Amino acid sequence: MRTKLPELREESIESEMRDRDGEMKAKAKRYADKKRSAQESDQAPGDKLLVKQERKNKLSTPFAPEPYDVVTKTGNSVVVESPEGAQLIRNTTHVKNNMRRHHRILRKQLHCLMLLVL
């Protein structure tokens, strides 16, 4: 039976829909990341981190006072080792960089800049 309706090839439409869907998802991700100021975590093996601890009362600190060493990092999961040797697996949102490391890096950068200027 012949019709005057146009025929659509399903293969080309499906691939076009998938391409367009991927483009729109990437665009939405870029917008959300920009709006939330999202950034990659810069934790690497060997870094010192502070790990969140359970709040026992309102005077307890949110992070454990002793720094933990990063063993491995995979995606948003990080394996840290305590000074006693116990290993913990935590999400990167539950750890924070030890500020001493940042000060050390800034001092090295400042020292290098001073050497370049002289």
Structural domain contains residue 27: no
Residue 9 included in any domain: no
Residue 5 within any structural domain of the chain: no
Residue 106 lies in a domain: yes
Mean pLDDT of 62-86: 92
Q: What is the mean pLDDT of residues 63-75?
A: 91
Mention every residue, 6+ apart, whose C-beta is less than 8 A from residue 66.
Answer: 82, 83
The pLDDT tens digits of the residues spanning 93-118 come to: 999 987 665 566 667 777 777 777 77
3-state secondary structure of 88: strand
Q: What is the mean pLDDT of the chain?
A: 85
Query: CB of 76 within 8 A of CB of 41?
Result: yes
Residue 17 maps to a domain: no
Half-sphere exposure of 103 (CA within 13 A, CB side): 3
Total domains, the chain: 1
Instruction: Report yes or no on 2 lying in a domain.
Output: no
CATH for 76: 2.30.30
Question: Rg of the chain over CA atoms, in angstroms?
Answer: 25
Place of tokens 């939330």: 36
Work out the average pLDDT over 84-101: 87
- Of the candidates 92, 95, 41, 91, which has an alpha carbon nearest to the alpha carbon of residue 68? 95
What values do phi and psi take at 97, rounded to 5?
-65, 145
Domain that holds residue 89: 48-117
Helix (H) or strand (E) holding 81: strand 77-81
**Does any domain span residue 94?**
yes
Task: Report if residue 101 sits inside a domain.
Answer: yes
Band of residue 40 on the pLDDT scale cut at 50, 70, 90? confident
In the three-class reduction of DSSP (H, G, I as helix; E, B as strand; rest coil), residue 39 is classed as coil
Percent of the chain with pLDDT over 90: 45
